[in-house]
Amino acid sequence: MRLGAIPGATPDKWVTRWRERYPDFALSVDRFDEAGQLERLRAGTVDVGYIRFREDTQAPTGEDLHRVWLYREAPVVCASRDHWVAAAETSVTWEEIAAEPFFDPAEMLQDAQSADPEQTTAAEDVHTPKQGTDLAVGERMALEVVASGAGLVVLPNSVARMFARRDIVIREIEGIPGYDVGLAWLREVDSPVIQEFIGVARGRKPGSGRSEISSGVESKATSKSGAKPESKQKPNPKRAAAGAAPGRSRPGQKPGSRRGQPPRGRRRPR
């Protein structure tokens, strides 16, 4: 199974859990720019992919795709350390920054591609995984300009943290919608393996009765015939000693017992 990650996504925890529980089902992770994710899913470039959309917009996933939302992340503004936004401790309101100049990473990337045909050709190939500085080129360009103090850029919190710089501050924005983050996959390729991965991503515990695939860890503890080895109960030494004690096999009066005799110090009634 091939998972398509986007900037800001951190699937490491899910991947680790998957490989521990299901070592017989290979899982690979490739990173791409956020743009083109739906195209990659429909082309079969990835089996499951991260998707991120503003919460106030309807995600254009279409009826041919399954989707499940996992969490919502806050929008943040990135500004130069010399900008007045840096004076805010944790957040600013949209009304406070609405009049400031903003940069759009997608537009900046498009302008750069128009000026450099070679860069345009490379960017149009949305099906090739990207690494290092080739990933999120538009966001990197916007942050570079923001660091100069020329304006601001609004990004999902995870993306801003991923490309954080010492000369830039990050503050949450109050009063605008956040971003819904989830996973999507084609309906026609849906399978028990994909469903199990979605369960892992949503926090399903190991050994859940909803699982439709067998864990490789469990299969190692299973005999060749398919039956789990019988558990051997350890003998209880106290019970064994009690059962073997002489004179205890049937009830009877102990030697020297005064059962049936009057208590000591009292006279027998006449």
Question: Domain for residue 246, yes or no?
Answer: no
**Is the pLDDT reported for residue 258 higher than 60?**
no
Express each pLDDT in 168-184 by its tens digit: 999 999 999 999 999 99
Question: Domain for residue 230, yes or no?
Answer: no
Judge if 68 and 80 occupy the same domain: no
Judge if 54 and 183 occupy the same domain: yes
Judge if 170 and 186 occupy the same domain: no
Query: For residue 158, what are the domain limits?
Result: 75-174
Structural domains counted in the chain:
2
Out of 174, 205, 237, pick the residue that ends a domain: 174
Out of 144, 174, 204, pick the residue that ends a domain: 174
Express each pLDDT in 196-207 by its tens digit: 999 999 998 887
**Is the pLDDT reported for residue 28 higher than 80?**
yes
Judge if 160 and 94 occupy the same domain: yes
Question: Domain for residue 205, yes or no?
Answer: yes
Judge if 83 and 148 occupy the same domain: yes
**What DSSP string runs through the chain?**
-EEEE-TT---HHHHHHHHHH-TTS--EEEE--STTHHHHHHHTS-SEEEEEEETTS-----TTEEEEEEEEE-EEEEEETTSGGGGSSSEEEHHHHTTS-B--HHHHHHHHHHH-HHHHHHHH-TTS---GGGSSHHHHHHHHHHHTTS-BEEEEHHHHHHT--TTEEEEEEESS--EEEEEEEEGGG--HHHHHHHHHHTTPPTT-TT--S--HHHHHTS-TTSPPPPPPPPP-HHHHHHHH-TT-SS--PPTT--TTSPPTT-PPP-
Judge if 90 and 161 occupy the same domain: yes
pLDDT of residue 62: 87
Judge if 187 and 67 occupy the same domain: yes
Judge if 167 and 185 occupy the same domain: no
**Is the pLDDT reported for residue 161 higher than 90?**
yes
Judge if 166 and 84 occupy the same domain: yes
Out of 174, 200, 235, pick the residue that ends a domain: 174
Question: Domain for residue 253, yes or no?
Answer: no
Judge if 95 and 60 occupy the same domain: no
CATH of the domain at 105: 3.40.190
Question: Domain for residue 212, yes or no?
Answer: yes
Question: Domain for residue 6, yes or no?
Answer: yes
Angle, alpha carbons 234-239-245 (nearest 5°) = 135
Question: Domain for residue 136, yes or no?
Answer: yes
Judge if 86 and 169 occupy the same domain: yes
Question: Domain for residue 42, yes or no?
Answer: yes
Judge if 160 and 102 occupy the same domain: yes
In the numeric block, which tokens belong to residue 160?
């801003």
Query: Which tops the pLDDT comparison, 49 or 223?
Result: 49
**Is the pLDDT reported for residue 97 higher than 60?**
yes
CATH of the domain at 67: 3.40.190.10
**Is the pLDDT reported for residue 151 higher than 70?**
yes
pLDDT of residue 112: 86
Please report, as a single letter, which amino acid is at residue 109. L
